Chain A
Amino acid sequence: MRFQRVGLRYGSGPEIFRDLTFSLAPGSFHFLVGPSGAGKSSLLKLLYLAIRPSSGTFSLLGRDVADLDREEVAMMRRRMGVVFQDFRLLDHLSALDNVALPLRVAGAKEEQLRSHVAELLAWVGLADHIHSLPATLSGGQQQRVAIARAVITRPSLLLADEPTGNVDDTIGVRLMYLFDELNKLGTTVMIATHNEGLVHRFRHPQLRIENKGVRLVAPAARASA
Chain B
Amino acid sequence: MLFRRSDLPLDRDPAGGFLPWIVGLMVYLAALALAGAVFADGLVERWRSDLADAVTVQVIPGAEEEGPQVQARRVEDAVQFLSVMPGIASAKPVPHSELLRLLDPWLGSGNIAEDLPLPALIAVELIPGVPVDLAEIKSRLAEVVPGAVLEDHKPWLGDLSRLAQGIEALAFVTVILVACASVLTIVFVSRSALAQHQEVIQVLSLIGARDAYIAAQLQAYSFRLATVGALFGVALAIATVFAGSVLLGRAETGLLPAAQFLSWHWLMLLLPVPAAGLIALGTTRATVLTQLRRMT
Contact = CB atoms under 8 A, between A and B. Distances in A.
Contacts of B209: 74, 105
Contact of A78 (B9, B200, B203, B208): B208
Given A74-B208, A78-B208, A105 B213 contact: yes
Interface in B161-192: none
Contacts of B202: 88
Contact-residue size bin, chain A (C-beta under 8 Å from the other chain): 20 to 34
A74 B205 contact: yes
Interface string A88-110: 10111100010001101110000
Interface string A170-182: 0000000000000
B13 interface: no
Given A90-B7, A92-B9, A93-B7, A102 B210 contact: no
A197 to B, nearest CB: 29
A81 to B, nearest CB: 8
Contacts, number: 51
B206 interface: yes
Given A70-B293, A88-B199, A90-B200, A102 B207 contact: yes
Most buried by B among A75, A102, A105, A106: A105
A75 to B, nearest CB: 7
A104 B211 CA distance: 14
Contact of A106 (B208, B211, B296): B208
Contacts of A97: 5
A223 interface: no
Chain B interface extent, by class = 10 to 19
A77 B7 contact: no
A48 B206 contact: yes
A102 B207 CA distance: 6
A149 interface: yes
A192 interface: no
A77 B203 contact: no
A74 to B, nearest CB: 4
Given A70-B293, A90-B200, A105-B213, A77 B9 contact: no
A74 B210 CA distance: 6
Interface in B111-170: none
B206 A82 contact: yes
A78 B205 CA distance: 10
Nearest to B211: A70
Contact of B206 (A77, A93, A104): A77
Contacts of A91: 9
A82 B205 CA distance: 12
B206 A101 contact: no
Contact of A50 (B200, B206, B208, B213): B206
7 residue pairs, one from A and one from B, having the closest CB atoms: A78-B208, A92-B9, A77-B208, A105-B209, A74-B210, A102-B207, A88-B203
Interface of A: 48, 50, 70-71, 74-75, 77-78, 80, 82, 88, 90-93, 97, 101-102, 104-106, 149
